[in-house]
Structure 1
């Protein structure tokens, strides 16, 4: 497996199941380390490292979500051992969905279940413009959503370092359009969202049911856009339970 793109958040090579995690806009593979530590020894957590951040900061970030999904499908096709699932938060939910579509079209092994978090359904288009704002406007959006240490957002050197990848991610997700709009995957979808997320209503989250032929379940947690940090123990327990139920059901 390409370790440039895929990092082991917690290395458990003998684990029977793997969970591949896709970060939010501006996020990195290390975001999922706390969640990996909360999972038991039966799940190895792998996390995607997009170009343009942390140890990949010298690489140009990708501004087209389809191209990002194409590259990740190349990396992941046939390389994840045993049964696996995808988890994507915010932008990562759409990336995980599009990678799943590409794997299925190739006839490659696809996730047994797709967890999508903090993101409206792919067919629900909203005209957002964060990627066209100046740096202060982008930082203001990050501050509003939470999930980022605010002390970092007041450091000019940090802002200069993270802004190219952050702006690229916002460009990728805000210019994304699901093609076709009624695209589906054959993996069951588990939707997770926060009840006070200002970016995603519960109705928006329910729309994911239109994008799978294998069933869709919704779980609403207390919290905002980054509810999964605020409720990490509860979220991980839910993921573990649904992983076991979905993978066992598809193995029968």
Structure 2
């Protein structure tokens, strides 16, 4: 096992990590590449189990937004366009092989904007975008979580069931987390897609059947934002369905990464 890891690391040594990119496990040479984007308040480590399961057959890179974990002293970015601009300048250098984007919640919106930037730069479109637990860019709601007091933000977290109650009750942890959460909620709640914004990448939408933030109609509306195929996969669960349904979600990802993609023509 040690010999294989050392050999694999050599074959991928030309790809240097940055403050923005994490590679938790080495992959085989020329493996298709999956870049993952965290949810609001989330960090790169959320995808550690994904990287563990999918490598070495798939090269999993994870974006680390500023203002969290080892980047906690860096200024936060409170709007999606600027965040996407900054992330794109990093991930564009990792498109030397088939490139797939996976984003959960706010991360799905960021992934969509990254795909748009590939096209705007005249670069090949990502092979597929996986949009998890997020309504289509054209479907907006009058959400104002970022303007609530601390208790209001915590109520939202409890509704989504994505944070352990022991964490929500820990004053020290929440004191550090709330500014990041409020910042990210502002970014995604004030985001508006350009009229008729579309990408050329096929889209796989993944959603929980009891997600309070995304209805099935809002998930299906992603079809309006791609010139290629769009499919919707529904899993049992709420906003963080993928935590309990990890195996099924990973199977859906690997099936689409290995399958050919089709444009609508």
For Structure 1 versus Structure 2, the TM-score category normalised by the shorter chain is: over 0.9
Q: Is the 8 A contact 1:94 1:122 kept in 2?
A: yes
Is the contact between residue 2 and residue 75 of structure 1 (CA under 8 Å) also seen in structure 2? no
Q: CA deviation at 1:3?
A: 1.7
Residues 1:84 and 2:99 are matched in the alignment: yes
Partner of 1:211: 225
Output the CA distance in 2 between the equivalents of 1:7 and 1:170: 23
Q: Secondary structure at the match of 1:158?
A: helix
Deviation sequence 1:163-206 (CA, Å, 0-9, x none)? 111111000000000012x2000111011101111110111100
Of 77, 80, 89 in structure 2, the residue corresponding to residue 74 of structure 1 is 89
User: Conserved in 1, the CA contact under 8 Å of 2:67 and 2:75?
Assistant: yes
RMSD: 1.5
In the alignment, is residue 184 of structure 1 matched against residue 198 of structure 2?
A: yes
**Native 8 Å contact 2:25 2:56 kept in 1:** no
SS at match of 1:193: strand
1:10 aligns with 2:39: no
* 1:15 to partner: Cα distance: 4.8
Inter-partner Cα distance in structure 2 for 1:174 and 1:194: 20
Cα deviation digits, residues 72-125 of structure 1 (max 9, x gap): 111112334311100001000000000110111001243100000000000011
Summarize the alignment of residues 114-125 of structure 1 with structure 2, pairs less than 5 Å apart.
Answer: 114-125=129-140
In the alignment, is the contact (CA less than 8 A) between 1:135 and 1:163 conserved in 2?
Answer: yes
CA offset digits 1:48-81 (Å, max 9, x no partner): 1001111110011110111001111111123343
Equivalent pair of 2:26/2:55 in contact (CA under 8 Å)? no
Unaligned 5+ segments in structure 2 are 1-15
Secondary structure at 1:63 match in 2: coil
SS of the residue corresponding to residue 187 of structure 1 reads coil
TM (norm. structure 2) is 0.90
Unaligned stretches of 5+ in structure 1? Answer: none
Where relative contact order (Cα < 8 A, 6+ residues apart) is larger, the structure is 1
Aligned counterparts of 1:71 and 1:208: Cα–Cα separation in 2: 24
Q: Does the CA-based 8 Å contact 2:133-2:207 persist in structure 1?
A: yes
Q: How many residues align?
A: 248
Correspondent of 2:258 among 236, 244, 247: 244
Q: Among 28, 43, 50, which residue is 2:43 paired with?
A: 28
Largest Rg, 1 or 2: 2
Residue in 1 that maps onto 2:9: none
* 1:208-242 CA-partner distances (Å, limit 9, x unpaired): 00000011111111111101101001110111001
1:104 to 107, 112, 119: 119
How many angstroms does 1:2 deviate by?
Answer: 4.8
